[in-house]
Amino acid sequence: MKKNEVPQDKSNLETANIKDMYYAVDENGEYTTELSTGWSPKTIALDNAIKDIEERTEIARQKVLNNSTSPIEYYMELHKMDIGILASYVGIWTWRVKRHFKPSVFKKLNAKTIQKYADVFDVSVEQLRHIDK
């Protein structure tokens, strides 16, 4: 693609002043780099991914409020993690993290384990125990 053809479509990343670097051919036929504010297909895919994350986070929040899961699941979704990543950050087996999703198990967690989760999510223990309604 030529340097003047590098896409400059509107993007959500534009407001964060994030730009992609593309390789393009300049006027002399030499390869060079050019910054792009966005490309429509990429913007659509990114918007869809963000909406999906927001929906999963809201579903997890509702499950916490309905007492069908623990706040750990909510914060995991909020921080765009999966169980494997969370387990590795906390240093706990994956099956135990899944078990901690049960509200009855979560309420019995010791202070050290709760603190590990709070540290990973960068929240206080109190915030971890009670999400905002």
pLDDT in tens, 21-34: 878 888 888 888 88
Per-residue pLDDT of the chain (133 residues; tens, 9 = 90+): 777 777 677 766 656 677 778 788 888 888 888 887 777 787 788 889 889 999 999 999 999 999 999 999 999 999 999 999 999 999 999 999 999 999 999 999 999 999 999 999 999 999 999 887 5
Give dist(CA 68, CA 38) in Å, integer.
40
CATH fold group of domain 56-129: 434 Repressor (Amino-terminal Domain) (1.10.260)
pTM: 0.74
> What three-state secondary structure class fits 90?
helix
**What is the pLDDT, as a whole number, of residue 15?**
60
The CA-CA-CA angle for residues 118, 121, 126, to 5°, reads 40
Residue spans of the domains in the chain: they are 3-38, 56-129
Give dist(CA 40, CA 125) in Å, integer.
42
| Of 79, 97, 80, the residue nearest 88 (C-alpha) | 97
Give per-residue pLDDT as tens, 103-121: 999 999 999 999 999 999 9
What are the angstrom distances between the C-alpha of 99 and each of 4, 11, 87, 102?
55, 40, 11, 6
Give residue for tokens 């994956």.
94
